[in-house]
Amino acid sequence: MRIATVAGLGLVLVALGYGTVAVFLAFDRDSHSASDTIRPFVITMAPVWAVAIWASVSLLRRHR
């Protein structure tokens, strides 16, 4: 079961990476400066990554 969990987390990481790039490109599409892109991107993606990291650590810690 541990291998399936790690493989599932790998798939989630790939999807999260794809989503992160897609969000960045969406913000960058209509921006006129770096601050128009970076600030909303960080505000949007920081909580998503924080929850993803917390969930991954929590899931892997249960199996010990």
What's residue 59's pLDDT? 84
Euclidean distance between CA atoms 46 and 39, whole angstroms = 11
Task: Supply φ then ψ for residue 31, to 5 degrees.
Answer: -90, 155
Task: Find the angle CA(35)-CA(39)-CA(43) to the nearest 5 degrees.
Answer: 175
Q: How far apart are CA 58 and CA 63, in angstroms?
A: 9
Structure tokens at 23: 């969000």
- What per-residue confidence (pLDDT) applies to 5? 79
pLDDT at 30 (0 to 100): 86
Q: Return the pLDDT at 7.
A: 87
pLDDT tens for each residue of the chain, 64 residues long: 577 778 888 899 999 999 999 999 999 998 889 888 999 999 999 999 999 999 888 888 865 5
The token pair that represents 16 in the structure block: 């999260």
Nearest by Cα to 27 from 44, 51, 48: 44
